[in-house]
Amino acid sequence: MAHHCYLNNKIDSVENTNIHITDLGLLRGYGLFDYFRTYNGRPFQWDWYWERFDRSAKLMKLPNPISKEKAYSVVMALIEKSGLEDCGIRFVLTGGYSPDAMKMIEPNLLIISEDIHPVKESEYEAGMKVISHEYVRDYPEIKSTDYKHLMILQSDIREAGATDVLFHKDGKISELSRSNVFIVKNNVIATPDTQILRGITRRYILELAKANFKVEERSVALQEVLEADEVFTTSTTKKVLPITRIDNQLVGSENRSVSKFLLEEMNHHLKTW
């Protein structure tokens, strides 16, 4: 079945949903988004995602035009209309239509159902390659629609045979372009705690990890990453995915027992979500 989109209190097919050219998201890049997926037809960690979406709106001074309860009912309607066992849901909140390309009158909120593009099983075995790049996102705690830096780097990523980029600044790492980073050294897990988007899967994995490992949320040096026993990333679609090469350097061991354990734990809990 075709996917659908909610816009201005109306649900229609994605193909029939349009945004006017005066929208500030287009003219000024003034917008934010959030993305989550369902498991067994239910939104994963809905409360956490809503909390982050609403916080991002406040930080960007964008009025949130919908209540949590109404948003949930819209999400469930979109899931049903998708006809899929599971799907992705994307929230996009923009500055809305502007008469002078500057003044905000009323925001636009889109809620869209999408296909999920999960990681292949073979990728969990092989791990992923990333390139390193010195950069920190503007307002990293906000899930902004501003991805221009990543888009500019796309050709570099492809030419390197990589799939993403690891951001670092002054010798400290922050995150990948769309996911968080963890390292393991001597069975201790560490992950950056500043200049990052606080991912929902990151939060979930931290809860799982703290029951079995020592966990540190702190600044992490790039050199630590290169010398780690394991490096992995977490996100909605990646879950817990090993990083095995940064630029031209192999990282981590082939064992990867910690990331494998955490992935298995997450998959086990998701069966009954």
Q: Catalytic residues, which ones? A: 129
Taking phi over 0 as left and psi of -120 to 50 as alpha, with beta for the rest, 144 belongs to beta
Map tokens 């995602």 to a residue: 49
| Chain Cα centroid distance, residue 186 | 28
> How far apart (Å, rounded) are the C-alpha atoms in residues 16 and 144?
25
44 HSE (CA, 13 A, CB side): 28
User: How far apart, in Å, are the Cα atoms of 217 and each of 53, 188, 203, 241?
Assistant: 22, 11, 11, 19
Residue 39 · residue 31 · CB < 8 Å: no
DSSP notation for 129-158? EEEEEE---SSTTS-BS--HHHHHHHHHHH
User: How far apart, in Å, are the Cα atoms of 200 and each of 61, 134, 150, 162?
Assistant: 22, 25, 21, 24
Map tokens 């609403």 to a residue: 54
> How far apart (Å, rounded) are the C-alpha atoms in residues 246 and 234?
16
Using alpha carbons only, give the angle 240, 210, 87 rounded to the nearest 5 degrees. Answer: 35
